[in-house]
């Protein structure tokens, strides 16, 4: 299908507002009589709460109230299970333990909330927090993923006799039989550590109960305003109509803002209903490090069986996944790890055990990539190791194992986060892979440039890693598109916006159907008063699920426009075209009517609307895919390492991205750039250092280093296009893609650069320091 | 655990004369913090590690922002001269290039518009980027106090992490550097985890100059940060280098000696092993670069 507007590099229409500081964020919301909240958080990662004395805090001038768990009475309850284990999985152990609004008896991770102060200003509230006296009884702390399972271990949850949060096994084919026929068995242990999402905007909430209206409005920097609205209504005994949740512009989501509920999201609405005045809280960076969810900590014991030609015969794996102190997000992340542990390859025999553990650390929920980078890391590492053992070319072994194009739709058989056996809808991997090799100049580099560089004593390595990304899962999203009498288009969808360019790309879809300018579309996202059905922006699903809902609604409006215009212009629909905000008779431009005039005629003040029709040129449509759309990509880089310091310089970075039909290539490239920067952080800079007491040692941006513009390479992006067969637009998600292959890519390129050290990398994230240690373990510097 | 939404309230005062400073310190000593660029102080205050009722700004005292150079005496740099000024001032770039180099490694451009030489030195951070160069240039600090002015060699100035020889109510007014020996070449190598904004894991300043009096024909001065309670010179290593004709082996041996002297502590940013090895590697690299430059010039 050829499009006029879809697929064009349209500049983002939201940027002028964002760049000039005119866009609304939660921090900008200021209401009359608004009070401010500050939280007392536990320094201890594990401690019994003996007593709290808030009297001194209440005496601070300007303090209105101080609340603890005891004050909440029946309103105190843990958060809802946001995602339960898939009902389709058999023999699952799942011990659901959810986060609480205020700690009642025992602290389970540092940063949990003990009390909240409400005051006339945040400054006063902060000062008063210091006046709260708390008696703790510190308890031994459990942080280690394996030790926590040992008999007699300290328990995070006393009502469980174990720190096991979940256990499940998924099998495909028959690994043990496959193993018997193998020429090579590789066995490795991988250690993957934690990072933070570090959105530029921290979390923030303004909650406003209007007693006279009996209505609650909550501005929330969330990725999921509709579920938050529904959940708040249920908890607070209100109807959904009485609650409006607005997620205005949000300065980065990356996963942690999908949580329902964070403690603060439970506490602030409860307080505003108690006091009858608006309450505001904006998270600071330190709170963000302790209280906002994190990801990626896993230990893998993996075995890969191969034929001597390099065919993967099977993979067997045990994953220990750290969920932190609670597991509100169910099994989403480890399920994603499983579904990506076979990568882009045709693996017929797979046996995978997931052990999820509770530790006294910050809660784990998906962070951009959501378990996928770990899966891709281990399969790609194993292939690198196998290729070396079998003396095969690193690229050849991948080509050998790719799922072939005629195997799609490919039944992966593993149940993933969509709750159904994963089906890879479409793909054409080898041409994209070859393109990546060509862009990087792989042959030339290996044969000519690298030998020359090595002769000069330089350590320059190359890496190429392919990956899949399951995207666009259900359940559904919806959209409403409406032509206004002005000729402008108003539209709304339930997903929120955290930088995904919805105002532009969804407007492009609408402009395509209705023949208007992209700037003529006014799109609202993330406001439950504007659109109240849907789930949210996560899992790389906006462009697929909401995008196709917008497409369906816009297409329907187009039909209504054509039908009405046909009648008025006395011309068959097929002879009409929509262009420049007008409906014209093809080849007779004088015979036309504007969309605005049609909108007026469709909503008459007198006369009668024809039976069986609706007023207006408006449509609301939904899209819910039976299963997701799986994207594919290849990242490659040439990396120089200084063996003296292990500092790196990325000489070249390329990606080939197949996310099906692109609505806007500029937006896709932006997602990739952002994802790669996050991936580079995950691979070589960012690691959360918890000590044995559960204390986060680098809870600030001076010590927890995120890569900046100086660490970002220029990125060449090539777009391949295998349209998704199961949605009208043919789109696949791309939001997380950029981050997924980067740790595996770094490992491969570093090993290649440091070939003379015979290095085998089995962990991520690395750092110059860590890499140096791996190579010089034996040396004594004293 | 306390959240910190921003700076607490404080009163800002601008000192017009040294007497202003002493008077205020006398009257309200406990409440007052002296302010230069504020790039460390504000962060510390925001994090609750420092508090102050009054911030007394010293930047506008006479001479604090001046740079004066004479062929005879060398350079006098006011304590409030910013790092971006050091980076660009012709008298600095022409005669004390290693100071400009060092200044360029600190934080980022915006921060260097505020950060001052005096602040960097008085903060007495073991990782101070200006300190190794200031040490090898054998600078002297001018201090002003109620009892008058005094001058002190920089190697006497730091007494521990965050601790200086400044007496109560005393503050730094300027740093003087004599002209480096004729033909001197300097290099500051900083290792941070990122190219911009990180603190030094290790920083090494090497100054080399021709000296026919010693067997090596060249003398080196070496200043190192981030790997001991204070920034330090390594005189034993400098002597070793002077004693014999220079070779890669001698440079290696000297770097190894420097590594032995270093005494880093482990933190989340770097392990002891890595820091020690980096002292070795950066010292070698610095020596080698300076030596090559001296031979070629």
pLDDT of A643? 93
The count of other CB atoms within 10 Å of the CB of residue B244 is 13
A51 touches chain B (CB under 8 A): no
A563 touches chain B (CB under 8 A): no
pLDDT of A778? 62
Say if residues B188 and B105 touch (Cβ distance below 8 Å): yes
| C-beta atoms of A286 and B9 within 8 A | no
Q: What is the mean pLDDT of residues A41-47?
A: 97
Q: Is residue B167 part of a domain?
A: yes
pLDDT of B121? 97
Q: What is the mean pLDDT of residues A140-148?
A: 98
Q: Per CATH, which fold does A15-22+474-623 belong to?
A: Aldehyde Oxidoreductase; domain 4 (3.30.365)
pLDDT of A463? 98
Nearest by CB to residue B1, choosing from A290, A702, A710, is: A290
What residues in B contact A681, CB-CB < 8 Å? Answer: none
Would the pLDDT of A651 be above 60? yes
DSSP string covering A517-530, please?
A: -GGGEEEEESBTTT
| C-beta atoms of B3 and A286 within 8 A | yes
pLDDT of A747? 98
User: Does B201 lie in the same domain as B156?
Assistant: no
Helical (H) or strand (E) element with A128? helix A122-129
pLDDT of A782? 55
pLDDT of A155? 98
- A712 is written with which tokens? 């970002």
| C-beta atoms of A284 and B2 within 8 A | no
Q: Is residue B3 part of a domain?
A: no
What residues in A contact B280, CB-CB < 8 Å? Answer: 781
| C-beta atoms of A123 and B3 within 8 A | no
Would the pLDDT of B19 be above 70? yes
Would the pLDDT of B5 be above 70? no
Q: Is residue B61 part of a domain?
A: no
| C-beta atoms of A123 and B9 within 8 A | yes
B277 touches chain A (CB under 8 A): yes
Q: SS3 sequence, A577-638?
A: EEECCEEEECCEEEEEEEHHHHHHHCCCCCCCCCCCCCCCEEEEEEECCCCCEEEEEEEEEE
B199 touches chain A (CB under 8 A): yes
Size of interface A-B (CB pairs under 8 A): 93
| C-beta atoms of A685 and B193 within 8 A | yes
| pLDDT tier for residue A81 given thresholds of 50, 70 and 90 | confident
pLDDT of A89? 86
What is the layout of strands, in order, in the sheet containing A715-720? A459-471, A629-642, A647-658, A715-720
| C-beta atoms of B4 and A126 within 8 A | yes
- Dihedral sign, CA of B55, B60, B63, B66? positive
CB burial class (10 A; 0-12, 13-18, 19+) of residue A11? Answer: exposed
* Nearest-Cα residue of chain A relative to residue B284: A644
| C-beta atoms of B4 and A284 within 8 A | yes
* Nearest-Cα residue of chain B relative to residue A42: B1
B:14-53 residues touching chain A, CB 8 A cutoff:
47
Residue B187 C-beta-side C-alpha neighbours within 13 Å? 18
CA dist., res. B188 & res. B206, Å (int): 6
Q: What 3-state DSSP class applies to A549?
A: helix
Nearest by CB to residue B5, choosing from A126, A708, A711, is: A126
* Nearest-Cα residue of chain B relative to residue A697: B268
User: Does B83 lie in the same domain as B44?
Assistant: no
The model's pLDDT over B245-276, given as tens digits with 9 standing for 90+, comes to 999 999 999 999 999 999 999 988 899 999 99
| C-beta atoms of A776 and B276 within 8 A | no
Would the pLDDT of A413 be above 70? yes
| pLDDT tier for residue A259 given thresholds of 50, 70 and 90 | confident
Q: Is residue B192 part of a domain?
A: yes
The model's pLDDT over A288-326, given as tens digits with 9 standing for 90+, comes to 999 999 999 999 999 999 999 999 999 999 999 999 999
Q: How many Å lie between the alpha carbon of B197 and the closest alpha carbon of chain A?
A: 8
Least confident interval from A716-725, B173-182, B190-199: B190-199
| C-beta atoms of B2 and A111 within 8 A | no
ipTM, two decimals: 0.91
* Nearest-Cα residue of chain A relative to residue B195: A710
pLDDT of A116? 98
Q: What is the mean pLDDT of residues B183-211?
A: 94
| pLDDT tier for residue A781 given thresholds of 50, 70 and 90 | low
What's the CATH class of domain A298-473+626-775?
alpha beta
Q: What is the mean pLDDT of residues A615-630?
A: 94
pLDDT of A736? 94
CA dist., res. A504 & res. A489, Å (int): 13
User: Does B88 lie in the same domain as B148?
Assistant: yes
Say if residues B223 and B133 touch (Cβ distance below 8 Å): yes
Q: What 3-state DSSP class applies to A270?
A: helix
CA dist., res. A127 & res. A234, Å (int): 34
A121 touches chain B (CB under 8 A): no
Q: What is the mean pLDDT of residues B61-76?
A: 96
The crossing angle, in degrees rounded to 10, of helices A372-390 and A332-340 is 30
Least confident interval from A69-73, A608-612, B54-58: A608-612
Widest CA span in chain A: 95
Place of tokens 């004088």: A590
User: Does B217 lie in the same domain as B172?
Assistant: no
| C-beta atoms of A290 and B260 within 8 A | no
Domain boundary among B177, B212, B228: B177
- CATH number assigned to the domain comprising residue B279: 3.30.390.50
Q: What 3-state DSSP class applies to A447?
A: helix
Q: Quick one: what percent of chain A has pLDDT higher than 70? A: 99
Mutation test of the interface with chain B: which of A198, A645, A688, A690, choosing the one with the most B Cβ atoms within 10 A? A645
Least confident interval from A345-359, A655-669, B18-32: B18-32
pLDDT of A184? 98
Nearest by CB to residue B285, choosing from A39, A644, A711, is: A644
| C-beta atoms of A703 and B269 within 8 A | yes
DSSP string covering B32-54, please?
A: EEEESS-TTHHHHHHTTS---SE
User: Does B146 lie in the same domain as B85?
Assistant: yes
CB burial class (10 A; 0-12, 13-18, 19+) of residue A604? Answer: exposed
Q: Is residue B243 part of a domain?
A: yes
Nearest by CB to residue A781, choosing from B9, B193, B259, is: B259
Q: Where in chain A is the domain with CATH 3.90.1170.50?
A: 31-139+200-252+256-291
Q: What is the mean pLDDT of residues A641-670?
A: 96
pLDDT of B2? 58
Q: Is residue B149 part of a domain?
A: yes
Place of tokens 């666009």: A472
What residues in A contact B288, CB-CB < 8 Å? Answer: none
| C-beta atoms of A781 and B272 within 8 A | yes
pLDDT of A779? 67
pLDDT of A85? 85
Whole-prediction pTM value?
Answer: 0.94
What residues in A contact B227, CB-CB < 8 Å? Answer: none
Q: How many Å lie between the alpha carbon of B254 and the closest alpha carbon of chain A?
A: 14
Q: What is the mean pLDDT of residues A664-685?
A: 96
Across chain A, mean pLDDT equals 95
* Nearest-Cα residue of chain B relative to residue A680: B194
The model's pLDDT over A729-759, given as tens digits with 9 standing for 90+, comes to 999 999 999 999 999 999 999 999 999 988 9
Q: Is the peptide bond before A220 cis (omega within 30 degrees of 0)?
A: no
Which pairing describes strands A350-357 and A459-471: parallel, antiparallel, or unpaired?
unpaired
| pLDDT tier for residue B3 given thresholds of 50, 70 and 90 | low
pLDDT of B51? 87
Instruction: State how many domains chain B has.
Output: 3
Domain extent, residue B15, equals: 11-56
B278 touches chain A (CB under 8 A): yes
pLDDT of B270? 93
> Within its chain, how far is the Cα of A497 from the centroid?
12
| C-beta atoms of A122 and B5 within 8 A | yes
What's the CATH class of domain A31-139+200-252+256-291?
alpha beta
Q: What is the mean pLDDT of residues A254-274?
A: 95
pLDDT of A92? 93
Distances (CA, A) of A384 to A338, A463, A683, A752: 19, 10, 17, 10
CA dist., res. A675 & res. A95, Å (int): 33
Place of tokens 């917008």: A550
Domain boundary among B177, B202, B225: B177
Q: How many Å lie between the alpha carbon of A337 and the closest alpha carbon of chain B?
A: 28
What residues in A contact B2, CB-CB < 8 Å? Answer: 40-41, 126, 129-130
Q: What is the mean pLDDT of residues A760-781?
A: 88
Across chain B, mean pLDDT equals 94
User: Does B148 lie in the same domain as B199?
Assistant: no
* Nearest-Cα residue of chain A relative to residue B283: A644
User: Does B248 lie in the same domain as B150?
Assistant: no
What residues in A contact B271, CB-CB < 8 Å? Answer: 769, 773
Would the pLDDT of B7 be above 90? no
Mutation test of the interface with chain A: which of B2, B10, B106, B255, choosing the one with the most A Cβ atoms within 10 A? B2
Q: What is the mean pLDDT of residues A697-718?
A: 93
Would the pLDDT of B43 be above 70? yes
Q: How many Å lie between the alpha carbon of B262 and the closest alpha carbon of chain A?
A: 9
Q: What is the mean pLDDT of residues B271-293?
A: 97
CA dist., res. A659 & res. A467, Å (int): 12
Q: What is the dihedral of CA A160, A161, A163, A166, to 10 degrees?
A: -70
Q: How many Å lie between the alpha carbon of B12 and the closest alpha carbon of chain A?
A: 18
The model's pLDDT over A554-608, given as tens digits with 9 standing for 90+, comes to 999 999 999 999 999 999 999 999 999 999 999 898 899 999 999 999 998 877 6
Listed in sequence order, the DSSP H helices in A308-462 are 332-340, 372-390, 394-401, 429-440, 442-444, 450-455
User: Does B280 lie in the same domain as B194?
Assistant: yes
B:100-159 residues touching chain A, CB 8 A cutoff:
none
A39 touches chain B (CB under 8 A): yes
Q: How many Å lie between the alpha carbon of B214 and the closest alpha carbon of chain A?
A: 30
CA dist., res. A674 & res. A667, Å (int): 11
Q: Where in chain A is the domain with CATH 3.30.365.10?
A: 15-22+474-623, 298-473+626-775
User: Does B194 lie in the same domain as B103?
Assistant: no
| pLDDT tier for residue B187 given thresholds of 50, 70 and 90 | very high
User: Does B277 lie in the same domain as B230?
Assistant: yes
> Residue A659: which residues within 8 A CB-CB, separation 6 or more?
A471, A631, A633, A668, A719, A731, A732, A733, A734, A737
Say if residues B197 and B203 touch (Cβ distance below 8 Å): no
């Amino acid at each position: 299908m050829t499009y006029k507007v879809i697929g064009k590099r349209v500049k983002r229409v939201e940027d002028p507002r964002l760049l000039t500081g005119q866009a609304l964020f939660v921090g900008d919301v200021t209401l009359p009589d608004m009070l401010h909240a500050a939280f007392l958080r536990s320094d201890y990662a594990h401690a019994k709460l003996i007593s709290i004395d808030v009297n001194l805090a209440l005496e601070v001038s300007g303090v209105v109230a101080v609340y603890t768990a005891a004050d909440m009475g029946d309103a105190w309850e843990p958060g809802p299970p946001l995602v339960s284990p898939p009902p389709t999985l058999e023999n699952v152990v799942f011990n659901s333990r959810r986060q609480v609004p205020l700690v009642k008896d025992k602290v389970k991770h540092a940063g949990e909330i003990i009390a909240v102060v409400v005051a006339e200003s945040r400054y006063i509230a902060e000062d008063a927090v210091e006046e709260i006296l708390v008696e703790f009884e510190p308890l031994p702390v459990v942080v280690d993923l394996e030790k926590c399972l040992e008999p007699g271990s300290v328990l995070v949850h006393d009502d469980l006799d174990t720190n096991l949060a979940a256990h499940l096994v998924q099998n495909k084919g028959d690994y043990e039989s496959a193993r018997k026929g193998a020429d090579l068995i590789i066995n490795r242990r991988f250690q993957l550590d934690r990072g933070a999402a570090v959105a530029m905007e921290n979390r923030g909430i303004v909650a406003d109960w209007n007693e006279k209206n009996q209505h609650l409005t909550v501005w929330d920097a969330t990725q999921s305003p509709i579920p938050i609205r529904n959940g708040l209504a249920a908890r607070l005994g209100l109807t959904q109509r009485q609650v409006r949740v607005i997620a205005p512009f949000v300065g980065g989501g990356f996963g942690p803002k999908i949580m329902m509920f964070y403690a603060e999201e439970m506490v602030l609405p409860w307080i505003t209903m108690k006091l009858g005045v608006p309450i505001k809280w904006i998270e600071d960076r330190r709170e963000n490090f302790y209280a906002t969810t994190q990801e990626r900590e896993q230990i893998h014991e993996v075995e890969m069986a191969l034929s001597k030609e390099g065919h993967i015969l099977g993979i067997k794996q045990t994953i220990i996944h750290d969920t932190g102190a609670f597991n509100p997000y169910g099994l989403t992340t480890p399920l994603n790890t499983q579904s990506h542990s076979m990568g882009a390859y045709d693996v017929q025999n797979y046996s995978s055990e997931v052990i999820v553990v509770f530790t006294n650390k910050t809660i784990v929920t998906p962070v951009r990539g959501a378990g996928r980078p770990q899966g891709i890391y281990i399969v790609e590492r194993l292939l690198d190791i196998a290729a070396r053992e079998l003396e095969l070319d690193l690229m050849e072994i991948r080509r050998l194992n790719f799922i072939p194009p005629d195997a799609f739709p490919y039944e992966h058989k593993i149940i993933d986060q969509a709750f159904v056996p994963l089906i890879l809808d479409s793909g054409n991997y080898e041409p994209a892979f070859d393109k990546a090799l060509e862009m990087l100049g792989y042959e030339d580099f290996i044969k000519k440039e690298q030998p020359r560089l090595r002769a000069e004593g330089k350590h320059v390595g190359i890496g190429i890693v392919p990956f899949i990304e399951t995207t666009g899962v259900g359940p559904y999203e919806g959209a409403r598109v409406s032509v206004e009498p002005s000729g402008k288009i108003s539209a709304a969808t339930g997903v929120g916006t955290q930088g995904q360019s919805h105002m532009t790309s969804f407007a492009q879809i609408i402009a395509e159907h209705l023949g208007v300018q992209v700037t003529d579309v006014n799109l609202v996202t993330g406001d439950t008063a504007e659109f109240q059905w849907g789930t949210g922006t996560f899992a790389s699903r906006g462009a697929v699920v909401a995008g196709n809902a917008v497409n369906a609604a816009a297409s329907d409006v187009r039909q209504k426009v054509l039908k009405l215009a046909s009648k008025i212009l006395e011309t068959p629909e097929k002879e009409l075209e929509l262009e420049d905000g007008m409906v014209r008779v093809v080849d007779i431009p004088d015979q036309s009517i504007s969309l605005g005039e049609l909108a007026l005629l469709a909503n008459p003040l007198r006369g009668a609307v024809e039976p069986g029709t609706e007023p207006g040129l408006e449509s609301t449509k939904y899209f819910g895919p039976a299963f997701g759309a799986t994207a594919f990509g290849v990242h490659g880089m040439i990396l120089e390492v200084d063996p003296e310091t292990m500092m790196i310089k990325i000489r070249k970075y390329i990606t080939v991205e197949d996310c099906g039909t692109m609505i806007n290539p500029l937006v896709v490239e932006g997602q990739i750039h952002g994802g790669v920067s996050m991936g580079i952080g995950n691979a070589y800079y960012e690691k959360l250092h918890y000590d044995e007491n559960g204390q986060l040692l680098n809870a600030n941006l001076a010590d927890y280093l995120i890569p900046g513009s100086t660490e970002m390479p220029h990125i060449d992006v090539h777009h391949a296009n295998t349209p998704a067969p199961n949605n009208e637009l043919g789109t696949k998600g791309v939001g997380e893609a950029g981050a997924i292959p980067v740790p595996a890519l770094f490992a491969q390129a570093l090993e290649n650069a440091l070939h003379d050290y015979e290095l085998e990398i089995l962990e991520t994230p690395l750092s110059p320091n860590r890499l140096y240690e791996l190579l010089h373990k034996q040396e004594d510097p004293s | 655990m306390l959240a910190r939404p921003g700076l607490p309230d404080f009163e800002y005062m601008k000192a017009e004369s040294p007497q202003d400073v002493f008077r205020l310190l006398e009257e309200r000593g406990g409440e007052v913090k002296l302010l230069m660029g504020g790039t460390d102080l504000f962060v510390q205050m925001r994090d609750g590690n420092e508090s102050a009722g009054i911030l007394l700004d010293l930047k506008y005292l006479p001479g604090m922002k001046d740079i004066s150079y004479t062929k005879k005496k060398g350079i006098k740099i006011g304590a409030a001269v910013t790092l971006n000024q050091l980076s660009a001032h012709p008298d600095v770039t022409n005669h004390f290039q290693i100071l400009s180099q060092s200044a360029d490694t600190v934080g980022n451009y915006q921060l260097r518009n505020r950060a001052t030489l005096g602040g960097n030195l008085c903060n007495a951070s073991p990782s101070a980027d200006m300190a190794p160069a200031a040490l090898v240039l054998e600078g002297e600090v001018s201090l002003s106090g109620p009892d008058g002015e005094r001058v002190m060699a920089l190697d006497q100035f730091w007494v521990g992490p965050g601790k200086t020889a400044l007496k109560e109510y005393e503050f730094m007014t300027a740093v003087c550097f004599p002209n480096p020996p004729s033909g001197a070449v300097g290099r500051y190598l900083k290792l941070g985890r990122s190219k911009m904004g990180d603190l030094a894991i290790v920083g090494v300043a090497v100054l080399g100059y021709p000296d026919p009096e010693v067997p090596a024909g060249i003398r080196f001065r070496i200043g190192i940060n981030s790997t001991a309670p204070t920034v330090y010179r390594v005189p034993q290593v400098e002597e070793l280098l002077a004693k014999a004709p220079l070779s890669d082996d001698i440079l290696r041996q000297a770097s190894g000696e420097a590594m032995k002297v270093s005494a880093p502590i482990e933190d989340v940013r770097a392990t002891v092993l890595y820091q020690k090895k980096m002292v070795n590697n950066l010292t070698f690299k610095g020596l080698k670069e300076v030596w090559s430059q001296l031979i070629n010039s």
